């Protein structure tokens, strides 16, 4: 009878060990899943509406784009061009812009172009990486600009200006421009991409509404002009899911395994040798 | 038998791993039904555009694609009229089209409505354009004033597209000042300017007019460039835009006008402070952002400060931004989650009055006129407050190899102690 029970314990230990292994593998397997699955959804929705071919000229008129969508616009040098895109928590958005400059014959001096990214409260957001500002000599044909924001967090203190889920504005303009170079035709294209930062930046708490301007004014059914349009594919995240659940669960399982191992080590198998068999 | 049980356990483990992996795939799968609702115009009136064309004598110059400037403008107008969106009410005004004489006084009044702003009849409009011949002076200022009059009425967006090839010949009325005064009327009017083969003076003047109203300036050297740009500007007017509500901030908190959630605009001269007030119920969050635009030549360093202050003058939170170089606006914003009140504190007022102070640190050369003030745009939102967490990490959960290591070591030590205890207990029990 006693041996029987010992056998059962061993079996349970093996099952638990395998469970723990599965859980430990979980965090590795999940990003792979998350990487592959959004693509069919995105390609499905991008066929519905094309990328904008116009840019706005102020925060109010910013052209709404989605992430992974390449917006183009033709403009004049000196214009302030605005786009807006939604970014959700756990993402680290990167904005890329390409400026096809006017022909060299029409240019007189160096021009400096810059992209600035603002959040839904029109607070300027810092760029972690990327050439945010570039200067073109009169002979250069095009410029590439980029700006990678800090990871978007679900919550931050009101006194901080951390990126929060909501609308982000991109402003592209020539910040250094000779008077003779104003008003020349340029072609620009802008896109916003996101890198998934995972649970490392998953913070506690959350906003009741994303930082979308006019969120408390706009009504969904009226269909009139809104201050900001667009939300991420699939809507704003509930903030419930984070891979910290997997890590913590895996930790718990590994701890129980280690506990069983430790128990087995000191308790030994079956009946302690010093105990005489029952008569 | 044992081996069979082991494979069963492995299957169990696999299932468990899948079950743990599913929640991650869940949101991604849910992404499929992304609803895109295209905004339709219902509350706003029709957008209005007035094309203001310079028909002065200089338009005879034959320097655009081998043809005259007038011919280029006519061709562009014909193509734009064909492509004008249905909802746009379009009008055409000329300047310098009728008086060929030398009397400056008469020449500077020479602006006429060629086609009235209203639903577009393409044939009529084209016929009217065909009659134009380069004639007289370049009274830009008076033409802009009249064009603003043409666009009166309704609450739709308004735009003047000014096409000129020369600077204003009717000083002392500075068209740039005129444009700024028109913009300051609070009728949400934008003036976009196009210079036909412009010289430096024309360019500076047209650029100044455009900047004064938040418009754009383009210099044109080819017909197709003119067509594309005018067409683009007309199309842009058709885009539905939220129009701000005019408000006048007070110079102190006590007199400040109350703002409900929405979009507002105001004017603020250099160094002025303007106060507004927002009522925030306990547990709600105030979100405010402000943009102060540079609609004239300003010095290269500037800034904006937005402060949320209690009725008693205590600063709660502020947003500030500074910048340098060429810019259209400088903007900042703030959030203030009003704390939840305890139910039993009956003496506290139901809503908290939060005062917003907007100040700017723009400056300009002494020659620059300071009035009317710089355009200020203010957005106010009041939403439910955020859920504050007791822990910085999501749900207080852990992450990383250190966590796993710590848990494994703890578990192992606990197991060793437990095993040793139970062994000792059995030994004690047995030996007794």
| Segment A35-74, tens digit of pLDDT | 333 333 333 344 447 889 999 999 999 999 999 999 999 9
Q: Which residues of A touch B198 (CB under 8 A)?
A: 183
Judged by CB atoms closer than 8 Å, whether chains meet at A225 and B426 is answered as no
pLDDT score at B42: 44
- Of residues A106 and A74, more confidence is placed in A74
CA distance B60 to chain A (A): 22
In a mutational test of the A interface, the residue from B14, B18, B20 whose CB has the highest number of chain A CBs within 10 Å is B20
Distance (Å, rounded) from C-alpha B211 to C-alpha A79?
10
Q: pLDDT per residue over A129-184, tens digit each? A: 999 999 998 888 999 999 999 999 999 999 999 999 999 999 999 999 988 899 99
Cross-strand bridge partners of residue B163: B53, B194
pTM of the model: 0.83
C-alpha distances (whole Å) from A132 to each of A27, A114, A173, B322, B350 are 34, 6, 11, 17, 46
Strand order, beta sheet including B89-95: B111-118, B89-95, B48-54, B158-164, B189-196, B217-220
pLDDT in tens, A212-265: 998 888 655 445 567 777 788 888 888 888 999 999 999 999 999 999 999 999
Q: What is the mean pLDDT of each run of 10 residues along chain B (432 residues)?
A: 44 42 37 35 76 92 90 93 92 90 86 91 92 90 92 88 89 88 89 92 93 93 93 91 91 94 94 95 94 93 96 94 94 94 64 94 93 93 90 90 96 94 85 75
* C-beta atoms of B411 and A226 within 8 A: no
Report strand pairing: B352-360 vs B374-384: unpaired
Q: Chain B: nearest CA to A48, how far in angstroms?
A: 8
Contact A246 B390 (CB under 8 A): no
Are A14 and B326 within 8 A, CB to CB? no
CB contacts, 8 Å: B337 with chain A? 158
Contact A184 B219 (CB under 8 A): yes
A250 to chain B, closest Cα gap in Å: 7
What CATH number has the domain spanning B245-341+348-384? 2.60.120.380
pLDDT at B348: 58
Q: Is A107 in contact with A101 (CB distance < 8 Å)?
A: yes
Residue pair A33/B31 in contact by the 8 Å Cβ criterion: no
pLDDT digits 0-9 by tens, A63-101: 999 999 999 999 999 999 999 999 999 999 999 999 999
Considering the domain B48-238, what is its CATH architecture? 3-Layer(aba) Sandwich (3.40)
* Chain A residue closest in CA terms to B332: A123
Contacts of A154 in chain B (CB under 8 A): 394
Q: Cβ–Cβ of B203/A26 closer than 8 Å?
A: no
Contact B327 A202 (CB under 8 A): no
pLDDT (0 to 100) of residue A275? 56
Q: B248 to chain A nearest CA, in Å? A: 20
Give the ipTM of the model, two decimals please: 0.85
In this structure, the number of other CB atoms found within 10 A of the CB of residue A129 comes to 11
CA distance A164 to chain B (A): 11
- Peptide bond before B168: cis, by omega within 30 degrees of 0? no
**pLDDT value at residue B188:** 87
Question: Cβ distance B383 to B284 under 8 Å?
Answer: yes
Nearest-angstrom CA–CA distance, B111 and B232? 25
Count of CB atoms within 10 A of residue A139's CB?
Answer: 8
How many residues are present in chain B? 432
CB atoms within 10 A of CB B105: 7
Specify the pLDDT at position B392: 87
Report the C-alpha dihedral over residues B121, B127, B132, B133, rounded to 10 degrees: 160
Measured CA to CA, the distance from residue B21 to residue B4 in angstroms comes to 26
Nearest to B423 among A76, A267, A276 (CB): A267
Burial class (CB in 10 A: 0-12, 13-18, 19+), B211: buried
B128's tokens: 């009217």
- What pLDDT is stored for residue A221 in this prediction? 46
**Nearest chain B CA: its distance from A216 CA (Å):** 6
Residues of B in contact with A204 (CB under 8 A): 389-396
Q: Which residue has the tokens 């949320």?
A: B308
Residue B239 structure tokens: 């885009």
Closest CA to A81 of B236, B110, B129: B236
Question: Where exactly are the structural domains of chain B?
Answer: 48-238, 245-341+348-384
Q: What gap in Å lies between CA B138 and CA B57, rounded to an integer? A: 9
Q: Measure CB to CB from residue A258 to each of B244, B262, B412 and give the nearest one.
A: B412
Choose the closest CB to A22 out of B6, B16, B207. B16
Q: Name which of A35, A172, A262 to mutate to probe chain B: the one with the most chain B Cβ atoms within 10 A of its Cβ.
A: A262
Query: Across the interface, do B397 and A247 touch by the CB < 8 Å criterion?
Result: yes
Query: Do B333 and A119 count as a contact with CB atoms less than 8 A apart?
Result: yes
Inter-axis angle of helices A244-267 and A2-36, nearest 10? 160
pLDDT of residue A77: 93
From B86, B98, B90, B99, select the one nearest B124 (Cα to Cα).
B90
């Amino acid at each position: 009878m006693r041996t029987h029970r010992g056998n059962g314990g061993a079996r349970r230990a093996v099952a638990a060990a395998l469970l723990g292994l599965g859980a430990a593998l979980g965090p590795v397997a999940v990003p792979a899943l998350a990487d592959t699955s959004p693509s069919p959804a995105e390609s499905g929705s991008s066929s519905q509406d094309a990328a904008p071919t116009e840019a706005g000229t102020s925060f109010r008129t910013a052209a709404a784009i989605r992430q992974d969508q390449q917006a183009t616009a033709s403009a004049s040098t000196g214009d302030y061009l605005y786009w807006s895109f939604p970014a959700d928590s756990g993402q680290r958005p990167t904005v890329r812009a390409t400026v096809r400059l006017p022909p060299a014959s029409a240019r007189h001096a160096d021009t400096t172009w810059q992209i600035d990214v603002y959040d839904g409260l029109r607070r300027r957001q810092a760029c972690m990486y990327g050439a945010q500002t570039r200067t073109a000599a009169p002979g250069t044909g095009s410029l590439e600009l980029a700006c990678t924001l800090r990871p978007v967090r679900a919550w931050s203190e009101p006194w901080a200006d951390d990126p929060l889920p909501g609308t982000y504005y991109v402003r592209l303009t020539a910040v250094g421009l000779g008077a003779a170079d104003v008003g020349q035709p340029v072609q620009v294209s802008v896109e916003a991409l996101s890198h998934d930062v995972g649970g490392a930046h998953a913070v506690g708490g959350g906003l009741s509404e994303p930082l979308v301007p006019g969120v408390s004014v706009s009504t969904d059914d009226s269909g009139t002009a809104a201050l900001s349009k667009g939300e991420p594919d699939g809507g704003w995240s509930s903030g419930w899911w984070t891979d910290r659940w997997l890590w913590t669960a895996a930790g718990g399982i590994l701890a129980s395994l280690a506990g069983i191992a430790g128990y087995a080590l000191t308790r030994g198998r079956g009946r302690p040798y010093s105990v005489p068999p029952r008569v | 038998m044992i081996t069979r049980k082991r494979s069963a356990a492995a299957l169990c483990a696999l299932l468990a791993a899948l079950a743990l992996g599913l929640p991650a795939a869940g949101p991604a799968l849910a992404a499929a039904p992304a609803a895109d609702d295209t905004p339709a115009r219902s509350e706003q009136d029709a957008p209005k555009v007035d094309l203001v064309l310079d028909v002065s004598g200089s338009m005879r110059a034959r320097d655009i694609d081998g043809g005259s400037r007038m011919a280029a403008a006519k061709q562009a107008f014909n193509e734009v009229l064909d492509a004008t969106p249905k909802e746009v009410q379009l009008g055409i005004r000329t300047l310098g089209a009728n008086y060929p004489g030398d009397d400056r006084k008469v020449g500077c009044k020479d602006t006429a409505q060629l086609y009235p702003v209203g639903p577009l009849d393409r044939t009529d409009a084209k016929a009217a354009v065909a009659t134009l011949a380069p004639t007289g002076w370049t009274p830009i200022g008076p033409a802009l004033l009249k064009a603003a009059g043409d666009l009166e009425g309704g609450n739709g967006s308004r735009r003047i597209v000014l096409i000129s090839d020369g600077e204003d010949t009717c000083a002392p009325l500075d068209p740039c000042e005129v444009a700024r005064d028109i913009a300051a009327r609070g009728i949400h009017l934008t003036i976009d300017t196009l210079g036909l083969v412009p010289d430096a003076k024309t360019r500076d003047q047209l650029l100044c007019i455009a900047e004064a109203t938040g418009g754009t300036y383009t210099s044109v050297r080819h017909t197709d460039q003119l067509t594309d740009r005018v067409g683009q500007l007309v199309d842009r007017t058709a885009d539905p835009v939220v129009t701000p509500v005019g408000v006048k901030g007070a110079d102190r908190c006590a007199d400040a006008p109350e703002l409900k959630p929405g979009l507002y605009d105001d004017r603020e001269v250099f160094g002025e402070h303007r106060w507004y007030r927002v009522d925030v119920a306990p547990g709600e969050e105030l979100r405010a952002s402000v943009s102060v635009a540079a609609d004239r030549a300003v010095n290269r360093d500037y800034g904006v400060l937005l402060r949320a202050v209690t009725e008693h003058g205590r600063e709660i939170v502020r947003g500030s931004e500074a910048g340098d170089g060429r810019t259209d606006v400088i903007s900042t914003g703030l959030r203030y989650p009003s704390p939840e009140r305890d139910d039993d504190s009956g003496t506290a007022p139901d809503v908290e009055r939060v005062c917003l102070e907007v100040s700017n640190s723009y400056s300009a050369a002494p020659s620059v006129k300071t009035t009317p003030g710089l355009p200020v745009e203010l957005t106010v939102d009041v939403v439910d407050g955020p859920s504050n967490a007791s822990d910085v990490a999501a749900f207080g959960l852990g992450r990383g190899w250190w966590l796993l290591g710590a848990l494994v070591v703890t578990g192992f030590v606990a197991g060793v102690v437990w095993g040793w205890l139970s062994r000792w207990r059995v030994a004690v029990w047995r030996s007794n």
